[in-house]
Structure 1
Amino acid sequence: MFLFCSHMGRAMQTPDRQQRLAALRDVIADIERKPALAEMRDSLDSQEESDAFPTLPAGLVQEIYADESRDGGLGLGFALAQAKSLLTERRPSVFYIQMASDAQTFGMPYGPGLSWFGVDPGAMVIVRTADMTEFLWAAEEVVSCRAVAAVVADVRGTPKLLNFTASRRLSLRASANEVSLFLLRYGLGAESSASHLRWRILPHRSGRHPYDNRAPGAPRWRLKLERGRIAGQRNAWFLEWTDNGLAVFNSPSAGNHVRTPASLPGLVPALLGDGFSQAG
């Protein structure tokens, strides 16, 4: 009798379950037809080619690869240079997400240094997570918030949880909510992902100091677009950070640039600058 009743209960629930499954299929089909990614590609393709670095639309997922961890500042600088231009009264904040263990090993953004480059540390919220599960959860929640201008996610290594499916979820949410996501990655290889753009960022000799020829000037780097397309067929730039944003310069001697070893014996963690808000 018990088995019979149980079977009848399942039979009675069948139409309702079928309706829920049909509704779920419609939702999935709507997501697959969602024009956000296609519109984003059209927007990038329509960028006019010029000598200046293009102003990229909000809602992009950009992977920024540096060859080594010590070049992490290059990727962070490039991401913040774009994030700075996305800040508005309605979107007044930038989130920086990293693993707590990486913060202890590699340090974190330095408030006074950001101020010197024109980035208000009070607009940055630092989130430190215990593991990659929390990391991805935090990233998805933040890119779903329409009060956020951009998210910078510092990803060390090649975590298995950050696979193509996870990157596609992030990409769909970023596009839908117009929140730009910058994934800082490291190493010579690159994994499959659903990011809109993938950059390779390389160090370059700094510009000339306007008042002291022996002092370093504006930070510079070489940028190569490895995935995606913007500004016609161009895929490489030499960029300089200025008070007015990113500036393009010509560097015929870039191929002759030789890196010199760092003078410090190791990485020195910086103290958390005043003005940061923090979640941990």
Structure 2
Amino acid sequence: MTSLARMDRLAALRATIADIERRPALAEAAATPQSGADGFILPTPGLVQEVFTDERRHAGATLGFALAQARGLLSAERPAVVYLQLQAEAQEMGLPYGPGLVSLGFDPAALVLIRPANIVELLWAAEEAIACRAVAAVLADVAGQPKALNFTASRRLSLRAASSGASAFFLRYGAWREASAAQLRWHIAPALSGPLSFDARASGETRWQARLEKGAITNTHNQEWLLEWTENGFEIIDTGSASPAQPLAQPALSRPVPADLADRHPQTA
């Protein structure tokens, strides 16, 4: 090969590499989290999000938060959400509860459960599921700190999500944080449910305390919200005007009566 031909080939290779390097940046730029009129994030396809909580006993809060976003990504073209969980962690962490999903407005038939044997298989399954055009979102429940779930792995998933249009949510536990290519990182904690208008002592709609630790959302400068679930999605609760529920006033009694159980149910009932 002559020196001129070698130079031409090197120039062609440089142009090819430059084109490859430009594509991921353009793909990721298309997946920008947006906020609605209430200032909170709208379900955005093509993102990788980490959802952290401090303790495993709050796993229901992280799962509910991720499923609530995934519900908004479901469509006729993408009717499925894939839930990944390691076999060894299934006994301790449990599974999504069907009637609870219904109360969240999520059809249990849309949830595909997969239990890989190890973290390498879980990451492979997550990447393949994200590439599937019928999948709206992938939820990966990872309780430990596996070495395989590093920045390189998260970068691969981020690029795959940006190119395919599906989203990925990694449910994590603990106060530690590691480098990742996730566009958003949340810290989620369960909050006291809202009061019911007809019974101030009963539990109302589910609430989350959500704090955005990494990333940014357009049209808002907030980083922390108190969220309540409604049939139309998340609603932000104004903590400045919120007040604890007061028990219902009861008239004075003219004679002794049996003590109340629960919410004004007598012992003799």
TM-score range, shorter chain: 0.7 to 0.9
The equivalent of 1:251 in structure 2 is: 239
Q: Secondary structure at the match of 1:137?
A: helix
The equivalent of 1:235 in structure 2 is: 223
* Aligned pairs for 1:74-223 within 5 A: 74-223=61-210
The residue identity in structure 2 corresponding to 1:33 is R
- Equivalent residue for 1:38, pick from 15, 29, 33: 29
* Aligned pairs for 1:41-52 within 5 A: 43-44=32-33, 47=34, 50-52=37-39
Residues 162-171 or 30-39, more deviating: 30-39
Runs of at least 5 residues in structure 2 that lack an aligned partner in the other structure: 245-269
Q: CA RMSD in A?
A: 2.6
Q: Is the 8 A contact 2:188 2:209 kept in 1?
A: yes
The equivalent of 1:264 in structure 2 is: none
CA distance in 2, matches of 1:154, 1:90: 25
The equivalent of 1:272 in structure 2 is: none
State the percentage of identical aligned residues.
52
Q: Secondary structure at the match of 2:78?
A: coil
The residue identity in structure 2 corresponding to 1:32 is E
Deviation string, structure 1 residues 15-37 (Cα, Å, up to 9, x no partner): 9xxx8xx76x7665444212112
CA distance in 2, matches of 1:61, 1:143: 10
The residue identity in structure 1 corresponding to 2:128 is E
The residue identity in structure 1 corresponding to 2:225 is W
CA distance in 1, matches of 2:221, 2:17: 34
> Residue 205 and residue 148 in structure 1: after superposition, are their counterparts in 2 closer, same or farther (change >3 A)?
same
**Aligned residues between the structures:** 235
Deviation string, structure 1 residues 121-167 (Cα, Å, up to 9, x no partner): 00000000100111011000000111111111111111000000000
> Residue 205 and residue 87 in structure 1: after superposition, are their counterparts in 2 closer, same or farther (change >3 A)?
same
> Residue 251 and residue 142 in structure 1: after superposition, are their counterparts in 2 closer, same or farther (change >3 A)?
same
What TM-score do you get using the length of structure 1 for normalisation?
0.77
Structure number with greater Rg is 2
The residue identity in structure 2 corresponding to 1:36 is A
Runs of at least 5 residues in structure 1 that lack an aligned partner in the other structure: 1-10, 257-280
Higher RCO structure (Cα 8 Å, ≥6 apart): 1
Q: Is the 8 A contact 1:63 1:199 kept in 2?
A: yes
CA distance in 1, matches of 2:101, 2:224: 26
Offset at 1:85?
Answer: 0.9
Q: Is the 8 A contact 2:135 2:166 kept in 1?
A: yes
The residue identity in structure 1 corresponding to 2:199 is D
Residues 184-193 or 51-60, more deviating: 51-60
More helix by proportion, 1 or 2?
A: 1
The residue identity in structure 1 corresponding to 2:136 is A
Offset at 1:119?
Answer: 0.7
What TM-score do you get using the length of structure 2 for normalisation?
0.80
Q: Secondary structure at the match of 2:194?
A: coil
Q: Secondary structure at the match of 1:86?
A: coil
